[in-house]
Amino acid sequence: MELAVIDKIAAADSPMHRWDGRVKTILFLSAVIVSTTLNHWYLLAGLWLIALASFRTLNLPWRHLFIRLSIPFGIAWLVFLSLMFTNGRHDLFAVTLGPIRLTAYQEGLELGFLVVLRIMAAVTIGSILSFSTPMIEILETLRLCKVPNVMIDLAAMMYRYVFILTETSHNMRRAQLSRMGDSSSWLHQARDIGKVAGYILTNSLDRSIRIYKAMLSRGYNEDSTSASFFTTPISAADRQTGVLGGSLLAALVVFNIII
Residues near another protein (CB under 8 A): 7, 11, 134, 136, 139-140, 156-157, 159-161, 163-164, 207, 210-211, 213-221, 224-227, 229, 231
Number of DSSP helices (H) and strands (E) in the chain, helices first: 10, 2
Which 3-state string (H, E, C) describes 46-74? HHHHHHHHHHHCCCCCHHHHHHHHHHHHH
Q: Strand, coil or helix: what is 219?
A: coil
Please state the closest distance from residue 158 (CB atom) to another protein, in A: 11
DSSP 137-153: HHHHHHHHTT--HHHHH
Alpha carbon of 49 to those of 15, 245, 255, 258: distances in Å?
A: 18, 14, 17, 22
Please state the closest distance from residue 174 (CB atom) to another protein, in A: 18
Closest to another protein by CB, 56 vs 213, is 213
Please state the closest distance from residue 29 (CB atom) to another protein, in A: 18
Please state the closest distance from residue 12 (CB atom) to another protein, in A: 13
The string over 120-139, giving b where at least 16 C-beta atoms fall within 10 Å of a residue's C-beta and e elsewhere, is: bbbbbbbbbbbbbbbbebbb
Distance CA 192, CA 176 (A): 8
Closest to another protein by CB, 186 vs 223, is 223
Closest to another protein by CB, 76 vs 172, is 172
Please state the closest distance from residue 103 (CB atom) to another protein, in A: 53
Of 159, 174, 161, 173, nearest to 203 by C-alpha is 161
Closest to another protein by CB, 101 vs 223, is 223
Closest to another protein by CB, 73 vs 229, is 229
